[in-house]
Amino acid sequence: MYGRNIRGPHSALTDFLASNNISAAQIRDEYDRRLADATRQAAEEEEAAAMDQEEPEYEPTPESESPEDKTKKRKRMQAIENIKKSKEFARRKARRTGEPDDDDDELANTMMDEKQRPNPGQLDNCELCGKRFTVTAYSKTGPTGGLLCADCSKKHADGGKKAPAKKRSSGIGRRQNQSKLLDGMSPHGTQSLLETCIKKVAEHIDDVEEFGDLPPPVMHRLSQILSRKRAVTSKTLDLFLRPTHREINIYDCASLDTNDYHKILASMPALTRLNLRFVTPMKDRIFQYIMDRDMNIQDLHLDSPNLVTDECWRQFFTKLGPRLRSLKLWNLDSAFDDETMEIMCKSCSGLERLKLKYLWKIGDKALESIATLKNLEHLSLHFSQETSPEPLLQVITEIGPKLRSLSLDEFPLADDRLLQHIHEHCHHLSKLRFTKNDLCMDKELAALFRGWSNPPLRFVDFHGLRDVDMSNPAGPAEPVGLASDGFIALMEHSGSRLETLNIASCRHISYAAYEEAFSEHKRYPELKYLDIAFQGVVDDFLAQSIFRCCPNLSRLVVFGCFKIRDLRVPRGVNVIGTMGAKLNVDGIAQKEVF
């Protein structure tokens, strides 16, 4: 027969079975046959049962039965006799003491019925609802001994006993608790309804067809959560595309492709703020598109657009640079060199915010260019190349007077002169970050804050300003980095307005300095976040003093502060990083268990 060799798609299992000489078709046929047999058998039983019910009082006369029925009847009688002889029967009978003894027949009959109950895989009618169903090992027995279908089984079970409550050992949640703390969530009380809902929506994002009229802040939060779950795909991206919205924030674009970027730009013509992270597939033609459309992008925040060439960057800045208000770029290693930087600084004269982090190809020259950005108010730099201190001083001298935030991450060669320049030229700072440096002296840091015309700072991050010398852990005689004097000066200058303070691993701040800064009558009313990680001197007493002096504290980071053993934590404060310490929150005790 032709066509014999044409076959449909095969599953791997079918192939395997065929190679072992097992035919899937045969298995199926046999299964069908078994099923049919079971159905027929069940139907016959039903008939028999119906007949029993019709004539419950007297024995049916032999004449009214066909020979077939007769044999069946005889077989049943035989089976009952067998049951009566069985051990099981004797056992059951023994259990039924106290009841009339003359119902041997009845007992034998029920046992017979039980025996005839269909096995798993066969069909039966549900005792309660009468529905036909396949018997499984989980089918429950109904009130009169028959089997129940899945639905009735479930209901029946619910009506009975509930599953025993799961036991939780007190230590199990620790990791989760710490994770929540690091996410900034309070360990007591409930989360806000908004947050609960946003999380739920993010969980079921695949079922969402449209967000409707969600306000931008909520969209932003949703985008953050989805990005964190790495759930932003072409499909979910559509939910965020609103022709009328002026901004888009997607923190994980790794699963988007070039077309998706086109889609964003094409469907949101009013866009002024483009904030995309992990944009590896972004290419020149996306920028070309922005230029062709003459889009009014004012805020451009891109993380790792590494396929965009220097040529394209330069073209873009020349053409649309004047409109840019803020530019933030991260992780560029194959393009964006000093020359591009120069063109950028020339063209983007209106730039107010500039953040450049981990740009591998820029160095001293770039700093010189930055010094020409006269309108800059916020500057945040983290260079990968080592830069010499002089260009940085030039930046501070030139644009320092207008700066409102200054963030210098890891400039290992910057020295005391930088601090002097900041003291001299910056008068409007509210945020200052200067980290991981071991050249600046404590006395210069103190001098920075003493008699500084700058109003109190709101945000200070000095983490890692300390001497690193393994052979001399106490540091040199004249303290390097932020130490006692600098710390006291800082708190005196900015304490009244300070909201965030990070002095992690500034190891040379003494106990006495802490005692003075957090003494009885000092108050830091605005302080919300305090990071004092790896400050070995802080103990329970100091921590308690910190709580007293900072009424609005919501987060205290104390990694590596091993002297903190037993704390009474005020409500609303998250203490992060304790090791096996006992924390008492308003009478709620929680001992960390490992």
Partner 1 sequence: MANNTTSDFVTLVSSDGFEFVISRSAACVSGTIRRMLDPASKFSEALTGRCNLETLSGVVLEKVCEYFLYNEKHKDQTNVPDMDVPPELCLELLMAADYLDT
Q: Which residues bind partner 1 (CB under 8 A)?
A: 173, 177, 187-194, 196-201, 203-204, 207-208, 211-215, 218, 585-586, 588, 590
Within a 10 A sphere around the Cβ of 236, how many other Cβ atoms?
A: 20
> 165: Cβ–Cβ under 8 A, 6 or more apart, which residues?
none
By beta-carbon proximity to partner 1, the closer residue of 136 and 170 is 170
Q: In the complex, what is the shortest distance from the CB of residue 181 to partner 1, in angstroms, rounded to a whole number?
A: 11
Q: In the complex, what is the shortest distance from the CB of residue 190 to partner 1, in angstroms, rounded to a whole number?
A: 5
Q: Phi/psi of residue 255, each to 5°?
A: -95, 10
Q: In the complex, what is the shortest distance from the CB of residue 565 to partner 1, in angstroms, rounded to a whole number?
A: 20
By beta-carbon proximity to partner 1, the closer residue of 7 and 204 is 204
Task: Report yes or no: 414 and 437 within 8 Å, Cβ to Cβ.
Answer: yes
Calculated CA dihedral for residues 530, 534, 535, 537, nearest 10 degrees: 130
DSSP 385-448: S---HHHHHHHHHHHGGG-SEEEE---TT--HHHHHHHHHH--S-SEEEE-SBSSSBHHHHHHH
Q: Of 271, 281, 221, 272, give the one whose Cα is nearest residue 251.
A: 221
By beta-carbon proximity to partner 1, the closer residue of 59 and 207 is 207
By beta-carbon proximity to partner 1, the closer residue of 237 and 392 is 237
By beta-carbon proximity to partner 1, the closer residue of 84 and 582 is 582
Q: In the complex, what is the shortest distance from the CB of residue 476 to partner 1, in angstroms, rounded to a whole number?
A: 45
By beta-carbon proximity to partner 1, the closer residue of 95 and 175 is 175
Q: In the complex, what is the shortest distance from the CB of residue 164 to partner 1, in angstroms, rounded to a whole number?
A: 19
In 193-304, the DSSP E strands lie at: 247-250, 273-276, 299-303
By beta-carbon proximity to partner 1, the closer residue of 8 and 212 is 212
> SS3 for 453-507, per residue?
CCCCCCEEECCCEECCCCCCCCCCCCCEECCHHHHHHHHHHHCCCCCEEECCCCC
Q: Cα 289 to the chain's mean position, in Å?
A: 34
Q: In the complex, what is the shortest distance from the CB of residue 178 to partner 1, in angstroms, rounded to a whole number?
A: 12
Calculated CA dihedral for residues 416, 504, 550, 571, nearest 10 degrees: 170
Q: In the complex, what is the shortest distance from the CB of residue 187 to partner 1, in angstroms, rounded to a whole number?
A: 5
Long-range contacts from 235-241, C-beta under 8 angstroms, 24+ separation: 235/206, 236/205, 236/206, 237/263, 237/264, 238/263, 239/205, 239/208, 239/210, 239/211, 240/211, 241/267, 241/268
Q: In the complex, what is the shortest distance from the CB of residue 571 to partner 1, in angstroms, rounded to a whole number?
A: 9
By beta-carbon proximity to partner 1, the closer residue of 10 and 200 is 200
By beta-carbon proximity to partner 1, the closer residue of 159 and 215 is 215
By beta-carbon proximity to partner 1, the closer residue of 141 and 177 is 177
By beta-carbon proximity to partner 1, the closer residue of 159 and 217 is 217
Which DSSP letter does residue 579 get?
S
Q: Phi/psi of residue 79, each to 5°?
A: -60, -40
Q: In the complex, what is the shortest distance from the CB of residue 196 to partner 1, in angstroms, rounded to a whole number?
A: 5
Q: Dmax over Cα atoms in the chain, in whole Å?
A: 123
Q: In the complex, what is the shortest distance from the CB of residue 225 to partner 1, in angstroms, rounded to a whole number?
A: 12
How far the first Cα of the chain sits from its last, in Å, is 73
Q: In the complex, what is the shortest distance from the CB of residue 211 to partner 1, in angstroms, rounded to a whole number?
A: 7
By beta-carbon proximity to partner 1, the closer residue of 56 and 189 is 189
Q: In the complex, what is the shortest distance from the CB of residue 482 to partner 1, in angstroms, rounded to a whole number?
A: 35
Q: Which residues pair with 383 in a beta bridge?
A: 359
Segment holding 364, helix H or strand E? helix 364-370
By beta-carbon proximity to partner 1, the closer residue of 75 and 188 is 188
Q: In the complex, what is the shortest distance from the CB of residue 550 to partner 1, in angstroms, rounded to a whole number?
A: 22
Q: Which residue has the tokens 């502060």?
A: 561
Residue 517, classified by CB atoms within 10 Å of its CB into exposed (0-12), middle (13-18) or buried (19+), is buried
Distance CA 280, CA 274 (A): 15
For 568, the 3-state DSSP assignment is: strand
β pairing state of 529-531 and 500-502: parallel
Within a 10 A sphere around the Cβ of 393, how many other Cβ atoms?
A: 21
